[in-house]
Amino acid sequence: MRFRVRKTAHVFERLGLAMAGAACGLFVGAYVGSAISALTTQGFLLLMMVLGAIGFYLGIDTPQLPFDDAHSHIDAAELLSSAGTLCATLAALVSVAVIVLRLEPHDALTWLALLGWIGGVAMQIVAGAKARMRKA
């Protein structure tokens, strides 16, 4: 019984992370879509949300390598996960700030936010997949 409760709690946590990723993707999509007219589509918003949900579900809370002499090298999955989370959430924070404060930033910031988001969630997805493959 205790194992099932623990497993259920872990699934709830991961679903919450996925929803946070989807929300971040929605903000990035709304900001970038409002600044780049070719990306003003519902499909683009949905893509940003799906990428965020997958990235935050897989890339946050990755299984770590044991800490001993046999595993003394850098854990690439952990490094990718943390860097990806930083890039993705920074892009989301910038997007929210631009939307809420009604700023008119340079086009370069828009592209930087988009690339930061895509790069960040890509790193999270790769890190999550790598960490889970070594666990199996």
- Give me the pLDDT at residue 62, please: 75
Sorted by sequence, the CB contacts under 8 Å of residue 19 that are 6+ apart come out as 53
- Give me the pLDDT at residue 75, please: 80
- Give me the pLDDT at residue 96, please: 97
Are 40 and 34 in contact by the 8 Å Cβ rule? The answer is: yes
Give me the helix-helix angle, 76-101 and 107-135, nearest 10°: 150
Tell me the pLDDT tens digit for each residue of 27-55: 999 999 999 999 999 999 999 999 999 99
Q: How many CB atoms lie within 10 A of CB 95?
A: 28
d(CA 118, CA 42): 17
Tell me the pLDDT tens digit for each residue of 77-107: 889 999 999 999 999 999 999 999 999 999 9
